[in-house]
Every structure is written in structure tokens, then in C-alpha cells.
Amino acid sequence: MAEKTIAFTIIGLIIGIGLGIIGTIAYSGHELATGMFMMQDMELVMNENSAIQAYLNESPEVGIWALENYIKAINRVIKEREIEDNQQAFFIVQPKVTLRYAHVRLALLYEKTGNDSKRKENFEKAFEYCDSMKIEREHLEKKLIELVAKLDSQFEPLDDN
């Protein structure tokens, strides 16, 4: 009789521990997913930092390559995270804002290389991420260029350590 009681107690403990582990994982799954999204957001921030450094400090061709890769990366993450009604889950990055400025920077680099069609294409993409389209395109383009120039003058690279 005592052996049965000990056996049932051990089995009960094992089942209880197993259910406790499963419950803990289920309960903290949301926090784990949030943490993983935040880590991916930080990776995007680091990629943006590198792309801006290439834009500011390297040849136009290298800057174009870096910005295009950054834009592809953030668009891929947007598609992966689309939840419903075109809403995405981001915690650190603001995709519309960062894509707007990335396309303006890319347009400016294409202007330096003399590729006017790519310049216009990227300004059009930047306009898509602007909330207010009431401003004429020429004025909006000037405002975006001024804003990017101001942001670039205040840019401080993230510490890579």
C-alpha cells in the first residue's frame, strides 16, 4: 500500500511539473514573441545605421547598395509581420518614417550618379509614405530634402560594441 502511494505521488509530481512547464511556456509565449520582435527591430535599426553611414561616408554606388538592401529587409519584415487590415507589429522601428527617409536618401544618391529616372522613382516612393499629400510635389520634395539634410547633420552612428 505504501509503495502504491509513493508511486502515485511521484507520478503526480511528474505530471504536475510537466503541466506547470507547459503552462509557463504558454503564459510567457506572448512575452517571448514580443522579445523576438524587439530583437528583429534592433537588427533593423543596426541595418539602418549602417546604410546611413554608407550613404554619408562611402561612394554613391555603395550607399545605393546599402540603402536598397535596407529597404528590401524592412519590406520583408513588414510582409512577415502583417497581422490584419495592413497593420504591422513593430516596437522600435516606425516603418513608414524610416522608409520615407531611406527613399529620399536613395533619390539623392541617384541624383549624384545622374540617374534621373531612379531619382524620380524613389521620390515617388517617399511620397507614398507621407501622410499629407495636400502639399504640391515640388514643395514636398524640397521639404523632404531639407528634413533629411537636417537629420543627416545630426546623425551619430550607433556604437558597434
The string of pLDDT tens digits covering residues 76-94 is 888 887 766 555 677 788 8
Average per-residue pLDDT for the chain: 86
pLDDT score for 161: 46
Tell the residue number behind the cell numbers 505504501, with chain if given.
Answer: 2
pLDDT score for 83: 65
Which percentage of the chain shows pLDDT scores above 90?
Answer: 38
- Res 160 pLDDT > 90: no
Average pLDDT over residues 12-40: 83
pTM, rounded to two decimals: 0.76
- DSSP β-bridge partners for residue 88: 82
- Return the H-helix or E-strand segment holding 50: helix 2-57
pLDDT score for 116: 93
Fold classified for 37-153 = 1.25.40
Q: What are phi and psi of 18, to 5 degrees?
A: -60, -45
